Amino acid sequence: MPPPHILSQYNEIVPGAADRIISLAENQSEHRQKIENKIIESDIKNSRLGLHYGLIIGLISVIGGTICILNGHEVPGSIIGGTGLTGLVGVFVYGSTQRRKERASRFKAEMVPAKQSDG
């Protein structure tokens, strides 16, 4: 958005130009907010799907490992069950660490004052 004195100059050249420019900025802002909402909804959906699929994979590996152990295959059963659980724990810890870093960087960005443009 241009500063008010520039908008008034636009209005002098083309009557109603300031209203059109403001309307354009409002429409662009509304469009951007709709896109951001869709992205957030998609991220939430993907996160839930990841949790559900991770749970399914974890349960299958633990159940598969247990079945192997019960059928006399202790070493392969332990490897299957242990690998599944280790993978799930690793992904959970990695995800938690990434979310913590993201929140910290957002907090830092919010604390830094925005630059003022002269334009």
Report the pLDDT value the prediction gives residue 117, as an integer from 0 to 100: 47
pLDDT tens for each residue of 16-44: 988 999 999 999 999 999 999 999 899 88
Q: Which helix (H) or strand (E) holds 12?
A: helix 4-13
* Mean pLDDT within 75-100: 84
Tokens of 103: 């929140």
* Cα 112 to Cα 34, 78, 98, 107, 108, distances in angstroms: 26, 51, 21, 9, 6
pLDDT at 89: 81
Find all residues with CB under 8 Å of 60, minimum gap 6, and list them.
84
Domain ranges of the chain: 4-111
User: Range with the lowest mean pLDDT among 37-41, 71-75, 91-95?
Assistant: 91-95
At 20 the pLDDT is 92
The pair of structure tokens assigned to 87 is: 């993978």
Mean pLDDT, rounded, of the chain: 84
- Joined together, the tokens standing for residue 79 give 């490897």
